[in-house]
Chain A
Amino acid sequence: MHMLNTLIQPQWRTAMVLLVTAIVMTLVYDFGLALPVILRNTAGVILFGCIILGAGVSYIGARMKGSSPLQATKIGLLLPVLWHLKEIWMAGQIFGLAAGIYAGLQGFYLFYYALMFLVMGAAHLCCELYYLLGNKEQSCSWGVSGYFLLPMLLLCALEWLGWMLTGLDIFMFQGFLQGYRFLFT
Chain B
Amino acid sequence: MRKTVSFLTMLSLLCWAWASTSAEGELTPKPKRLPNIVFILADDHRWDFLGAMGHPFVETPNIDRIAKEGVLFENAFVTSSLCSPSRASFLTGQYPEQHGVKNNFTPWDNANITYFEYLKQAGYHTAFIGKWHMPGAIPRLRGMDLFVTFDHMGGQGAYYNTPYIVNGKALKAGETPVPGAKVNGYITDDLTNFAMQYVEDNQDKPFALYLSHKAVHLSMQPDEEAAGRYDDQEIRLPSEADSWLALADGNFKHFLWSSLEEKIKDYAETATAMDQQIGRLMDKLDELGLAENTLLIYAADNGYMWGEHRLIDKRWAYEESMRVPFVVRYPGAGYRPGQRSSEMILNLDLAPTLLDVAGLKIPGHMQGKSVLPLLQSRESGDQKLPGEFRDAWMYRYFEDFPYPVPAQTALRTQRYKLIDYERGKRDELFDLQSDPREQHNLIDDPAHAAVQARLRQQLQLQQQQAAQTHTRQAPAAVASVE
Contacts and interface: CB of A to CB of B under 8 A. Distances in A.
Interface residues of B, number: 25
Contact of B401 (A40, A90, A184): A184
Contacts of B153: 174
Contacts of A106: 253, 402
Given A91-B402, A103-B402, A180-B402, A29 B242 contact: no
Contacts of B450: none
Nearest to A181: B105
Interface stretch (A42-50, A67-75, A138-146): A42-50
Contacts of A87: 250
B399 A29 contact: no
Interface string B86-107: 0000000000000000001110
Main secondary structure of the interface of A (DSSP, over half): helix
Contacts of B406: 94
A5 to B, nearest CB: 31
Contacts of B242: 37, 40-41, 44
Nearest to B252: A48
B399 A95 contact: yes
A174 B249 contact: no
A93 B402 contact: no
A26 interface: yes
Interface string B403-430: 0111000000000000000011000000
A40 B245 CA distance: 10
A177 B154 contact: yes
A176 B245 CA distance: 26
B453 interface: no
Interface in A40-67: 40-41, 44-45, 47-48, 51
Interface residues of A, number: 32
B476 interface: no
Contacts of A93: 404, 423-424
B245 A94 contact: no
Contact of B253 (A108, A174, A176, A180): A108
A94 B244 contact: no
A130 interface: no
A9 interface: no
A47 B399 contact: no
A135 interface: no
B154 A48 contact: no
A109 B402 CA distance: 13
Contacts of B239: 37
Contact of B154 (A99, A103, A112, A174): A174
Contact of A37 (B104, B240, B424): B240
A94 B249 contact: no
A99 B404 CA distance: 11
A94 B405 CA distance: 7
A180 B105 CA distance: 9
A106 B248 CA distance: 19
A41 B244 contact: yes
A6 interface: no
B245 A95 contact: no
Given A37-B239, A177-B154, A185-B105, A90 B404 contact: yes
A122 to B, nearest CB: 19
A103 B401 contact: yes
Contacts of B106: 185
A71 B252 CA distance: 29
Contacts of A40: 242
A184 B106 CA distance: 12
A99 B253 CA distance: 18
Nearest to A50: B249
Nearest to B247: A48
Contacts of B250: 87, 90
Contact of A44 (B248, B399, B405, B424): B248
Interface string A87-117: 1001101110001001100101100100000
A45 B405 contact: no
B263 to A, nearest CB: 16
A106 B239 CA distance: 32
B109 to A, nearest CB: 15
Interface string A8-52: 000000000000000000100110000001001100110110010
Given A44-B242, A45-B244, A30 B401 contact: no
Contacts of A26: 249
A184 B244 CA distance: 34
B154 A173 contact: yes
Interface of B: 104-106, 153-154, 239-240, 242-245, 247-250, 252-253, 399, 401-402, 404-406, 423-424
19 contacts: A26-B249, A41-B242, A44-B245, A45-B244, A45-B248, A48-B244, A48-B247, A87-B250, A94-B406, A94-B423, A94-B424, A106-B253, A106-B402, A173-B154, A174-B153, A177-B401, A180-B401, A180-B402, A185-B105
The 4 closest A-B pairs by CB, nearest first: A44-B248, A41-B242, A174-B154, A103-B402
Given A94-B399, A94-B424, A95-B401, 16 more contacts: A26-B249, A29-B248, A40-B242, A41-B242, A41-B244, A45-B244, A45-B248, A51-B249, A90-B404, A91-B404, A94-B406, A99-B401, A106-B253, A108-B253, A173-B154, A180-B402
